[in-house]
Amino acid sequence: MNWLLFAIPLISGFIGWITNWVAIKMLFHPKVPRRILFITFQGIFPKRQVQFAEKLGKLVSNELVSFADIEQKVTDPANLEKVIPLVEEHIDHFLREKLKEKMPMIAMFLGENTIIQFKEIFVNELKELFPILMKSYMGTLQSQLDLEKIVIAKVSNFSSDKFEELLNQIMAKEFKFIELIGGVLGVIIGIVQVIITVVYK
């Protein structure tokens, strides 16, 4: 009888651990519906993959990725200032080198001061024109690029094997902890059962 009492916490612990282990496995398995008696089993992710894709698509398009935020970043004058040196370099090369090849007669009349003035004019025009161009481009991009549909299509076609592998890589420790907690709680419940049995024997 004493040995049976000692076995109760161990058995309860094993049941707690195996229950959580099965629960974790059932997130992804079985990948296709399996009918056992009158009950059909299928992993939660494979079964709900389309619904998950739709929810994620709405979340990405409405909350995570905003064309307004992208437009604000792209048209930010501070970001434009970062590329101005590159623009000036390109304009300088055009006025000094390419213009000689394309229109040598005009290039003959361009002195150093004229080149500097032209660069300044072009850069100032670009600063005014660039935000207008990008706003127009972002409007066209938003009408052509449906993020929600793209995410839904990608996630719906995502391999459940890859998703399981990815999630295991990220949450391996957490899954092990969940299994351990199941075992520990099972042992505690078993000990409580032993105490109740001994006290009320």
Give the pLDDT of residue 201. Answer: 65
Give the pLDDT of residue 180. Answer: 92
Q: Pairing relation of β-strands 39-41 and 34-36?
A: antiparallel
Give me the domain span that covers residue 168. Answer: 2-199
Rounded CA separation 22/179 (Å): 9
Which parts of the chain register pLDDT below 50?
A: none
Give the pLDDT of residue 2. Answer: 67
Rounded CA separation 81/181 (Å): 55
H or E stretch at 172: helix 160-199
Give me the half-sphere count of Cα atoms (radius 13 Å) on the Cβ side of residue 114. 8
Give the pLDDT of residue 37. Answer: 79
Report field, pTM of the whole predicted structure over 0.85: no
Those residues whose C-beta lies under 8 Å from the C-beta of residue 54, and which sit 6 or more positions away, are 152
User: Is the CB of residue 77 less than 8 Å from the CB of residue 123?
Assistant: no
Single out the residue of 164, 162, 158, 191 nearest to residue 16, CA to CA.
191
Give the pLDDT of residue 128. Answer: 82
H or E stretch at 41: strand 39-41
pLDDT digits (tens, 9 = 90+) for 95-136: 788 877 777 777 777 778 887 888 888 888 888 888 788 777
Please tell me the total count of domains within the chain: 1
Give the pLDDT of residue 15. Answer: 92
